[in-house]
Amino acid sequence: MADAFERRTPATYDEEILAAERHEVISSYTDEDRIRRVTEELRAGFRALAHVGAAASFFGSARTPPGDPEYELARRCARLVGEAGLAVITGGGPGIMEAANRGAREAGAPSIGLNIELPFEQGLNPYVDLALEFHYFFTRKVMFVRYASGFVVFPGGFGTLDELFESLTLIQTGKIVHFPVVLVGSAYWRGLVRWLEERVVAEGKVSPEELRLFTVTDDPEEVRDILRAAAHRRPRIDLSAANDGAA
């Protein structure tokens, strides 16, 4: 009997690992190979970002063009955050990510881009000073949370919503604490907040207090002030070097 699906090579490492058991996906990797690749990607990210202290991760649509009011608002917010002494971390792509990296560079703050391998190439924007390339979405997500003191979320699509709700879940379950989440663009987020209030809270799926895990604002200064008041991580020192120096 002929195969129901034409067999094909996976387009990304994410597809390769997630669809490895599917008959139509061709893979020559073992699970040990996959574990080694994931470990190497985590290790490279930890090493590259170990020096980052206070930082904020910015999210939003890759489809927002320069000159758009949302682009300019993200640029201004990132510039103020950078001037307040925080690094800015984005996905490294175009749109809101570019605007945030651009604002960070204008402030003289570290401008970090965590790019992701995609079947349709998005490429790094020209305002990234420290660039990392990730094959796996889940390893990249670790970096967004581990090296940031809070999230700034601008209007966006599925990827933006994914990061938003993952961060809220981590806070709700106590995996991260003292971690502000700021939604910028009240007109965009109003419908979502109303739905959360009228359906999710009303039906007891989350508590009213849990809606206070995020702040909605249009004010760049408020974004800066919220992030500046967050609990910030310290850059990690090289313990082996420190021990060598003490010897």
Domain ranges of the chain: 54-228
Angle of helix 220-228 relative to helix 69-83, nearest 10 degrees, comes to 30
Q: Nearest 5°: phi and psi at 181?
A: -120, 120
Per-residue pLDDT of the chain (247 residues; tens, 9 = 90+): 345 567 767 667 666 666 555 666 667 778 898 899 999 999 999 999 999 999 999 999 999 999 999 999 999 999 999 999 999 999 999 999 999 999 999 999 999 999 988 766 568 999 999 999 999 999 999 999 999 999 999 999 999 999 999 999 999 999 999 899 999 999 999 999 999 999 999 999 999 999 999 999 999 999 999 999 988 877 876 544 434 443 3
Tell which residue, 136, 164, 138, has the closest CA to residue 151. 164
Sign of the four-CA dihedral 180, 133, 161, 108: positive
What CATH fold (topology level) applies to the domain 54-228?
Rossmann fold (3.40.50)
Name the token pair of 98: 């570019």
Contact between 34 and 156 (Cβ < 8 Å) = no
pTM for the whole structure: 0.87
Contact between 96 and 74 (Cβ < 8 Å) = yes
**What distances in angstroms separate CA 8 from CA 28, 33, 112, 124, one per listed residue?**
12, 20, 35, 28
3-state secondary structure of 241: helix
Contact between 104 and 92 (Cβ < 8 Å) = no
How confident is the model at residue 145, as a pLDDT? 95
